[in-house]
Structure 1
């Protein structure tokens, strides 16, 4: 009897550990983009779509209750916390002038312009024009990635029944 219980535990423990350890680690690749759900503790917070440029700049589109935000970060940047910087975002024929909010080595800006969002889906590239230089971001597979980002948001907002014995699914 003890032997059967021990064997059951030996078989079950790796499965339980894998289920617990895999929470939040699952992402879906859409071309060069990685789409995943982000959580604060056990509560769903947002979905993100990320990639890294050839220059080592991480580009992240985040979808939350307020809409889409564009964030960029680089370990090379030293930005004033709480400062803002003027930029022009150009995708295809659309140009969006904005102020990006800075924090350490990251900047972010909300993207609420529907015409510009449509251009992000159709254009081959995004230019982020700052006062010091221009960051080039390839937008290959961005339409599919942004669709997946929206699907992730919608799917994770849906209320689900919870089972206290099973880890929640966190697939984007």
Structure 2
């Protein structure tokens, strides 16, 4: 009997603290999009909605305190760090002229135009036209995904800790 109790005690003592915590929330799939809350340590930072295009371009919409941001990256790209590039974004009948900020193999730009944001929810695709090529992003389920992204930020961005000894429940 003592041997069994000792074995159970030893087994429980060797479980690492991370394994004893609740499993990490991996996000919610909405069509081809994945929506998730992102935290640094215990502090909530942002919510993201991601997918990869057929051409291997990673597309991410980020909602944080500054608003909505679109970023794209590809291991094939070699962009000038700190440079910006002119692009034209087309979603349905809505067009947006912008400058994307580059870093390594990624570009990003804030989406501040409400009309264009509505078009992202209604259009079938987003075309990002650069000087050398056009990146096509299929937008199926984007309306539901963007709504979930906004709900994720509203829920997690205003959350307050009620028990400092328990990890917050971050759901997208």
* TM-score of the pair, normalised by structure 2: 0.89
Aligned residue number for residue 34 of structure 1:
34
Aligned residue number for residue 88 of structure 1:
88
Report the CA distance between 1:21 and its aligned residue. Answer: 7.1
The answer on whether the counterparts of 2:91 and 2:119 sit within 8 Å (CA) in structure 1 is yes
**How do residues 127-166 of structure 1 correspond to structure 2 at under 5 angstroms?**
127-166=127-166
Are residues 8 and 71 of structure 1, via their aligned partners in 2, closer, same or farther at CA, if it must alter by over 3 Å? same
Aligned residue number for residue 22 of structure 1:
23
Report the CA distance between 1:75 and its aligned residue. Answer: 0.1
Report the CA distance between 1:158 and its aligned residue. Answer: 2.3
Q: Size of the alignment, in residue pairs? A: 171
Aligned residue number for residue 48 of structure 2:
48
Q: 1: CA distance between counterparts of 2:6 and 2:82? A: 57
1:79 aligns with 2:79: yes
Unmatched 5+ stretches in structure 2: none
Report the CA distance between 1:159 and its aligned residue. Answer: 2.9
User: SS at the partner of 1:82?
Assistant: coil
- Give the alignment's Cα RMSD to 1 decimal: 2.4
Q: 2: CA distance between counterparts of 1:9 and 1:146? A: 48
User: SS at the partner of 1:119?
Assistant: helix
Report the CA distance between 1:54 and its aligned residue. Answer: 0.3
Aligned residue number for residue 68 of structure 1:
68
Q: In terms of mean alpha carbon deviation, does 161-170 or 25-34 score higher?
A: 161-170
Q: In terms of mean alpha carbon deviation, does 151-160 or 125-134 score higher?
A: 151-160
Aligned residue number for residue 102 of structure 2:
102
The answer on whether the counterparts of 2:125 and 2:136 sit within 8 Å (CA) in structure 1 is yes
Report the CA distance between 1:40 and its aligned residue. Answer: 2.1
User: SS at the partner of 1:154?
Assistant: helix
The answer on whether the counterparts of 2:64 and 2:153 sit within 8 Å (CA) in structure 1 is yes
User: SS at the partner of 1:56?
Assistant: coil
Unmatched 5+ stretches in structure 1: none
